[in-house]
Amino acid sequence: MIANNRVTVSREAQLQEKSRGFFYRFIYVAVALLSLLVTSLVFHSLLPPSIPEGVVEKLRFFAAHKGEFDTLFLGTSRIYYAVSPEIFDSITRENGMPTRTFNFGIDSLHPPENFYVLDQILKTNPQKLKWIFVDLDNIQTKSNSESFGTQRLLYWHDWPRTALTLKKAIDPRGGAKWDGKLIRLWSARRQILLHVGLFEKQFTNVGRALDFLPAHDQGSGPEPTSRLGPKGDGYRTAGPPMTPARAANFRRMLAEEVATARPRFIDPYADSAYREYAEKIRAVGAAPIFVVTPGPSQSLMRFRKSPPPGPLLSFNDCKAYPQLYDAQARADEGHLTNEGAVEFTRLLALELVHYARQR
């Protein structure tokens, strides 16, 4: 009997010892996670954003010269290689409304990365800005293979931008029921894991030690100064016209696009984000103007709700703007030559003059 009692007491002691061990391990893990969280928050509060090459050059230049510009173009390469500030300013000046313009186009600057960059621009408090033209597009959830593992894909993954990509991945059109979202969780698992992982790396400052090392050669890609263009206004030309064979393919593709074209709404998450940033733009005293560039798609994009957050200029209409779809005006399917850029810039400047006079 006494032996049995001793065995029972011993087992109880072992269980208590295991419970204490589990409790202490839980405490250690919790403290480690809390330390990581606090350290990450301290890094985020003390360190400036880690902006990659290809983006940081224009941010630095604009921050140093923000008082010189009243007009800004923000968008992808279809803005970068298609809007000449020099020509834009000459047209507005000739029409009695002089401007000073900077092209903030960047290769592949799709939503939601563009919203992160716009936040950095607005944080400089550009008090002289009057007009901000913003390239209109849907939220992008997929990334090309070239961007995997790069700082360019990582840096903008704070929670607001990550949340946009996750919402779009789980419920692309908005309004799906819970069972539909569960199905999408599985089918979009790779996209979800990609963006959650990038958010974790961005939040925990993975790789920030490289920010304190001397700049090294990045190999391919334009030199930092050339990203501002030959005139230092952010504009670069796309290249010569398409070859005859490519032009023939482009015309066939364009005919198919025209045959299937129909008005389309931007996705609900992009719609909400553009409205939010329209208010932020107005808060610094500027007016937002949204632009659909003359790309191959002929479906006119629209905001989902009325009224729109600002004027919407749609140039992806080969019937209304045939000069922008002529083979001599196209460097490729998505970009304009210098000749095409001159005409596109002229049209944009006249649209601004017309809008400003109406106001």
pLDDT digits (tens, 9 = 90+) for 130-189: 999 999 999 999 876 556 567 899 999 999 999 999 999 999 998 888 888 888 888 899
Query: For residue 213, what pLDDT is reported?
Result: 45
Own/partner contacts of 316-321, CB < 8 Å, gap of 24 or more, are 316/292, 318/254, 318/258, 318/294, 319/258, 321/294, 321/347
Confidence of residue 243 (pLDDT cuts 50, 70, 90): very high
Confidence of residue 105 (pLDDT cuts 50, 70, 90): very high
**Of 98-102, 135-139, 214-218, 353-357, which range is least confident?**
214-218
Structure tokens at 286: 């500027």
> How many CA atoms lie less than 13 Å away from 309 in the CB half-sphere?
26
* Residue 79 scores a pLDDT above 60: yes
Query: For residue 47, what pLDDT is reported?
Result: 56
Q: 279: which DSSP letter? A: H
* Residue 9 scores a pLDDT above 60: no
Q: How many CB atoms lie within 10 A of CB 235?
A: 26
* Residue 310 scores a pLDDT above 80: yes
Write out pLDDT tens, residues 16-29: 665 665 555 646 44
Query: For residue 179, what pLDDT is reported?
Result: 85
Query: For residue 215, what pLDDT is reported?
Result: 45
Amino acid at 116: Y
Average pLDDT in the 296-303 region? 96
Distance between CA atoms of 125 and 66, rounded to whole angstroms?
Answer: 8
* Residue 238 scores a pLDDT above 50: yes
Query: For residue 4, what pLDDT is reported?
Result: 56
**Of 56-70, 200-214, 238-252, 293-307, which range is least confident?**
200-214
Average pLDDT in the 44-73 region? 86
Query: For residue 309, what pLDDT is reported?
Result: 97
CA geometry: angle at 23 spanning 22 and 29, to 5°? 90
* Residue 212 scores a pLDDT above 50: no
Strand residues in the chain grouped as ranges (E): 71-75, 101-105, 131-135, 264-265, 287-292, 301-302, 312-314
Own/partner contacts of 116-123, CB < 8 Å, gap of 24 or more, are 116/155, 116/156, 116/158, 116/161, 117/55, 117/59, 117/74, 117/156, 118/74, 118/277, 118/280, 119/280, 120/49, 120/51, 120/59, 121/59, 121/62, 121/72, 121/74, 122/280, 122/281, 122/283, 122/284
Selected residue with higher pLDDT from 16 and 38: 16
Query: For residue 217, what pLDDT is reported?
Result: 42
Structure tokens at 193: 């894991």
* Residue 216 scores a pLDDT above 50: no
Query: For residue 183, what pLDDT is reported?
Result: 87
